[in-house]
Every structure is written in C-alpha cells, then in structure tokens.
Structure 1
Amino acid sequence: MRTLPAAARRTALAATGIAALTLSALAGTAPAGAVGGPQVHSKDGTSWVRACDTLAKGDTMACHALRVTSTTEAVQALGVTPNATPSGYGPADLLSAYKLPANGGAGMTIAIVDAYNDPNAESDMAVYRAQYGLPACTKASGCFKQVNQTGGSSLPANNSGWAGEISLDLDMVSAIAPNAHIILVEASSATMGNLGTSVNTAVSLGAKFVSNSYGGGESSADTSYDSSYFNHPGVAITVSSGDSAYGAQYPAASKYVTAVGGTALKKASNTRGWTESVWLTNSTEGTGSGCSKYDTKPTWQKDTGCSKRTIADVSAVADPATGVAVYQTYGGSGWAVYGGTSAAAPIIAGVYALAGTPATGTSPASFPYAHTTSLFDVTTGNNGSCSPSYLCTATTGYDGPTGLGTPNGTAAFHS
C-alpha cells in the first residue's frame, strides 16, 4: 500500500474564517484547535489547514489543497457581491502575474480529476464566475460535465474535504481559461487505481488538458501506473508536486506529466509588478520537489544531480499566505482563501489550454524545456536542505522547487 509522508497524514477539514460565520458553525467541520479537529498550521499571521489529510479507509492519495482559516472576508459569506472583492487573488491578479490573455480557452476542453463528489460543484463555480464577470459554464449549456471515474452519471459519495479541492480546481481553471469547457471526473475513492482510471476517462471524453492535484509516497508500482494511466501523447497532464516540502511524491514523479511546484507570489513595484520565491513554511510544509526513486528521467530533463526523474518542471502560486479566492459551500461557507500546489496544477493546465491543443503524438511535458526564456525564473528561497542543493534551493535556471519557473505568457506551453 502507498504511504503518505508523515506531514501528509495530518487531520484536516475546516472552513476559512468568513465574516459573520464562525468555524464552529460549519456543518460537519470541527472547530480549529478542537480535540480531534484539524491541525492548524501558521506563519507570519496566516493560518490554514489541510483539506484532505483524514484519509478514508483504503485511500492512499491526499489532495494538496490548503484552506486558510485566518481570513476575514470583506464580502458577504454567500453569493455574489458586485461591489466588493473577495480576499485572495482573483482572475485579474493571476492573469497579470503570469502575463496571460483574458477571455481565453475557447474551443479547449480541460478535465479535472479528483476523488469523491462535490454536490455543489456546478452552483459554486457559477458564483465564482459571476463574481468576477466570467462567462457561465453549465451542464445545461454543455460547457460543464460532472461524471464518475468511468464517465457515468452515478456520482461517488460526497466528501467535504475533497469538495474544497474540487472548488479550488474549478475556480482556477475558470480564472485562467474562462471560455474552455470543463469536465470534472470524480473517482470512487482516493486510490491510484481509481484516480488513474479517471485520468483515462478524462482523455477518452476528449480532454487535451488534465489537472491532478493529489499525491502520495512513491512505490515500486509507479512505473506500471505510468504506462496504465499517464502515457497519453498529445495530452497535457499536470500534477501538483505536494505540500510537504522536500521529498518526491507520485504521480508528480511520473515522467509523462508536468509536475507543478509552488511559489509565494507578491505584488511589487518592479517592471513585472510581481515577485515570486519558493514557497516554504517550515520543514514539513512547502512546495514539493525531489529526485524519484523509480521513474526514469525523461529525455528533455538535462539536470545532472538526479539520475532519475526530477520534480518539478514549472510552478505557480501555492503559498497560502499569498493564496487565491475560492467559493465553496459543501464543507465550507462561501468565500475562502486557498493555497497549496493544488492551486498551481490547475493554473498550469489552464495555461496549456491558452497555448492551444498539443499536436498529436507530442509530449507536452517537454514544451517548457524548449522555451525556457518564456518563463519567469524563480531564483530565491528553498524547501529544505538537500544535496545537490538545486533539488531544494532556487537558483538561476532549473531547480527542483520551481522547475524552470512560472508562466510568462503562453509561449512555453506549446511545441
């Protein structure tokens, strides 16, 4: 059985602090700090909990969503507030930070793979999109599909922790590629077999971009999972690198995927208008990176300090202290702020979609390596101590925590 890193076992399921509502009022959620409740993490005045660390029996994968609990929202707890802005970065911020075009994604289909069901997925996404003036994306119009792991309409059991992950994923794809169609594929449980089957289903339903925001410890079975679930030429598959600081996780370690690390993203007075550094909170909280024990190195990776697959490839915002706005009502109470590499993976999937459909037979994970000058190189910060140091410390050019860097437009994400 796959084992999660110790840091990824912590109990978590809490809603963010939102005006007029308290944590203890949330249905099915223990108050932060309560006995048996979620473990609260904090740094520099920001606190958060992990959304999916209480694993159901048999589950081997945890989502990488971090829900901020210290935010006081300036908007109404529920619904659209036209004259107020939710806390956390919204679509305009993300497009500005990564120099991306607005109103993109037309003609593209992006799939999101998660475990369990969010019964409010469609309605919550509708509120997020309406709040930010994005076009509606509904089941009725054919823009949105919500299916089980084999493509059917009988959805798995509801899960309020994974619902936060689902809301985060849907909102980030909406923010980056608002005119794309979206398929949410919900696995019956959080095992690699069920999640991998969901990836295959997403591709069979026509998605050319598939976002995965979950992971667990590596195992000797990973190479077989590679061939069974992730070898899809002509499809861009993104995977979050993990939130447990230095140390490889799977499926980010798959040689067939784009492993996405995490940064702290801050507004600045420089030419870009933003700065980024490696996201690290402490020795067990921060963006994942590492050298795989099992997966062979893809031909496009040229770093010499790891003879096998190196994680990550690229990165995007993930620090909960510089988190993104999300709308969630199942297991949440409306507007919230989220972080974690679970935010970064769907952002990068959206950027791939903005860049256009990958050519048949290509390996989209290789595209950034052919366009390194079209990325913002992240050169400060670390996610631990390791040897060689570039596997955990940012440097000029490629490094483990942030890969080749973050998007500077879309040029690095097509062949």
Structure 2
Amino acid sequence: MRRTMRGLSAIVGFASFVLVLGGSLPAQASPAAPLQPGTTHACNQNVQAGYATCFALKRTDIKQAALAPNAAPSGLGPSDIKSAYKLGDGGSGQTVAIVDANDDPNAESDLAAYRKQFGLPECSTANGCFSKVNQNGQASPLPSPDSGWAGEISLDVDMVSAACPACKILLVEADSATIDNLGQSVNAAVSLGAKYVSNSYGGGEDGSEASYDSKYYSHPGVAVTASTGDSGYGASYPATGAGVTAVGGTSLTADGSSRGWSESAWSGAGSGCSTSVAKPSFQSSVDTGCDKRGEADVSAVADPNTGVAVYQTYGGNGWAVYGGTSASSPIIASVYALAGAPGASDSPNSYPYAHTDGLFDVTSGSNGSCSASQQCNAGPGWDGPTGLGTPNGTAAFAA
C-alpha cells in the first residue's frame, strides 16, 4: 500500500524567474512569480542559448557569518535531511559526482567546515574522500573561479554530505556553463568511476536534446540526476533527458505527525513536458498529460523558505541558507548511492516507478497554472512539481 503523506496546504513558497535558453515557457504556462525579497540567484540568469544556469537560491535576509559558541547555523542540517527522508547509514565506497561550472577555490576547506560543524567524518583530498578535477578529469588546470557557481558548489557538496556522509565526493568543474562543457564533465565523472552524478543546472529545450542525450547524458548503470528549475511551471533540460532522473522540489517543515515532517509542492519547482524527448516506457504507468517526456520523476526539499544550511566563503561570508532545486538534485543522487549500485545495463530513472511504495506522496501545493492539472498541481500519484514523491528510505532508488 503506497504511503501517502498529508502535507501542509500550500506552505508559502516563492518562484524565481529564470530565463530559459533557446525558447520560452509553454504557451499554457502562467508567468512565474517574482523572486521574493531577501533571496537571490547564485548564478547569472541572463544566459545565451547553449548555456545553462545554476538553480541555487541564496537567502540574503539571514546573516550569520560567525556562530556563537554551541550555536547551530540556520537552515536544515544533516540530521533533518536523514530524519525527513528516513535515510540510514551506508554509502561507504560509493562516489557521488557533482558537476558544476567554474572553480570554487575554497570548496575543500568549506566542506571541512560544514562537516566539522555537524560532526560528520572528514572528507578531504588527504584521506581520499574528496577530489576535484576539470572537465577532462584532470586535477589541473582548473577553470577560472566564479563566486556565483561557488555558492552552487558549496550547496551541492554539503547536500551530499548531509544525505550520505560516508560517500566519497568527486567535484567536476566545467570550463564554462555551456551544455557541451557541462556534458563533457558528466562523461569525465563516469569515466572516473562515479555511479551517481548530480547536475544542478539547466536551461530551456532548443531541439538539440537528442544529440546532447547521446553524447553526454546517456549512461546505463549510472544514476544521473538533474534539477527541474526554479521558475515554476516550464520544462528544463537536462532534467527532461531520456536517461536522467528529473528532480523537482518541495517545501519541508517539521511537525507533530507520525513522520515528523510535512511536505507540499514548492511554488518554484520546475515541471512540464518535453517538446522533443520521447516518452519513456516507465512513464506509461502514470498519467503525466504529456505526449513526450514529463518532469519531474521525484523530488526533495528546495524551498528557500524551508532551506538548508550551507557553508561558503568564496563569494560568501560563511554560513548561509540556500534553496532551489539545486538542493534536491544532490540529495536524490546521494539517496541512489545509499541504495547501492544500479544494474549495469539499467536506466536508474525507471526505479522509482517500480517502487512507489518507497516514496512519500506529496499531494498539496502548486507551481503555476496549466492545461493539464497534474503538470503543475500536486496530488495523489504522479504530478509535475514533485513527481512520484520524496524518499521514504532508499527502496524506491534500488535496482
């Protein structure tokens, strides 16, 4: 019997207006709400066709560069993520790869500060847990630094640490935020042995999806996750990729329920139908309202109003609260790692469709208006903003 989580009725969220690449939102989409005061995009949103933007959102109304003795940073921490999604220990020996653009020169030291704060084991170059390479899989030369993408990187590696503290972290930094460079970075991650690759970036479809899929995002036996975006209803690539797990977003709040948490669809979570990627066979079991590939597949916390604690010093002053579907993608990649290696010839984005009883169904909330209600309104079963739901342990992500 599929477990249904009765979330709060539309926890107040907000949508960030993200410019899409090579096109516009579908005609039936309503415009996304303006970015709420007190929150900012980590990355430049005014990008050209063929480029991607990151989906990290930073709270600017919460300032806590230094913590008082014995104080905890604002935002959800590792114990919250593990509690909300019923995650146990595991992941030893598994490598989660993070693909981003440009270099964060403080990535390793910031990661150390985050893990020390929360009592997590060391993850460093010295002990073999952390490694950073360029898009060719080499330790040098690294790309030029960028303070915006550094925030994205901090968010990504901290979320892997939160969900899977025993996992190794491979950070692959693309020369720039073109889909070609980011895609080459995905290939480098896989060539270095990563079975779980998170991509917290995207842009609009432009008709090149089949080519990009075949060159970069089709890796049988590898769980490739991608964020669906922060601009509300409207599809994003590579989340719509045929071999990618599209990760939407929720608002997550502690409560007095038996689970201990309530979730609703976050108003900024991306969703919609691909214009070019064929409907995968595993989506034939659900009503997406799409003739082609629909997103999302699954989801996790993304609302900055219920955001996560992150430590960032390159372009930041230490502790901050972040959100966006950039948070949910590395969380889901890490849950795949906790679940164990995918089958060698499998497409792991099909796993949740075969194990829906391993998910919390998110049934309230919306990310806009649309002609097919399930594409923008949460409800029982599959819906666009949250997919099939959020992790209830790891069963839905196992081969």
* TM-score, L = length of structure 2: 0.90
Q: What residue in structure 2 maps to residue 41 of structure 1? A: 35
Matched, 1:412 2:396: yes
The number of residues matched between the two structures is 369
Distance 2:269 2:215 in 1: 27
Q: What residue in structure 2 maps to residue 170 of structure 1? A: 157
Distance 1:259 1:57 in 2: 23
Matched, 1:7 2:1: no
| Contact kept in structure 2, 1:9 and 1:53, CA below 8 Å | no
Matched, 1:196 2:183: yes
Aligned with 2:136 (options 150, 170, 185): 150
Matched, 1:115 2:115: no
**Cα offset for 1:107?**
1.1
SS of residue in 2 equivalent to 1:377: strand
Q: 1:246 to 1:217 in 2, by over 3 A?
A: same
Q: What residue in structure 2 maps to residue 33 of structure 1? A: none
Distance 1:311 1:56 in 2: 22
Distance 2:47 2:371 in 1: 35
Q: What residue in structure 2 maps to residue 132 of structure 1? A: 118
Q: What residue in structure 2 maps to residue 71 of structure 1? A: 62
**Cα offset for 1:42?**
2.0
Distance 1:301 1:93 in 2: 31
| Contact kept in structure 1, 2:202 and 2:237, CA below 8 Å | yes
| Contact kept in structure 2, 1:147 and 1:155, CA below 8 Å | yes
| Contact kept in structure 2, 1:95 and 1:176, CA below 8 Å | yes
Aligned with 1:92 (options 59, 75, 79): 79
- Counting aligned pairs with the same residue, the percent is 62
Q: What residue in structure 1 maps to residue 26 of structure 2? A: none
Matched, 1:61 2:48: no
Distance 2:45 2:207 in 1: 24
Give ranges in structure 1 of 5+ residues lacking alignment: 1-5, 11-39, 281-285
Q: 1:390 to 1:359 in 2, by over 3 A?
A: same
Q: What residue in structure 1 maps to residue 29 of structure 2? A: none
Distance 2:198 2:72 in 1: 27
Matched, 1:364 2:348: yes
| Contact kept in structure 1, 2:104 and 2:145, CA below 8 Å | yes
Distance 1:290 1:260 in 2: 12
Q: What residue in structure 2 maps to residue 299 of structure 1? A: 281
* TM-superposition CA deviations, 1:241-297 (whole Å, max 9, x none): 0001000010001010000000000111111000000101xxxxx000000001011
**Cα offset for 1:7?**
2.6
Distance 2:193 2:69 in 1: 35
**Cα offset for 1:55?**
5.2
Distance 1:157 1:55 in 2: 19
Deviation beyond 3 Å, 4+ runs, structure 1: 54-59
Q: What residue in structure 1 maps to residue 41 of structure 2? A: 50
Q: What residue in structure 2 maps to residue 22 of structure 1? A: none
Q: 1:398 to 1:267 in 2, by over 3 A?
A: same
Q: What residue in structure 1 maps to residue 208 of structure 2? A: 221
Distance 2:18 2:290 in 1: 24
Q: 1:48 to 1:235 in 2, by over 3 A?
A: same
Q: Which has the higher contact order (CA 8 A, sep 6+)?
A: 2
Aligned with 2:324 (options 328, 335, 340): 340
Matched, 1:311 2:295: yes
What RMSD, in angstroms, separates the aligned Cα atoms of the two structures?
A: 1.8
| Contact kept in structure 1, 2:19 and 2:47, CA below 8 Å | no
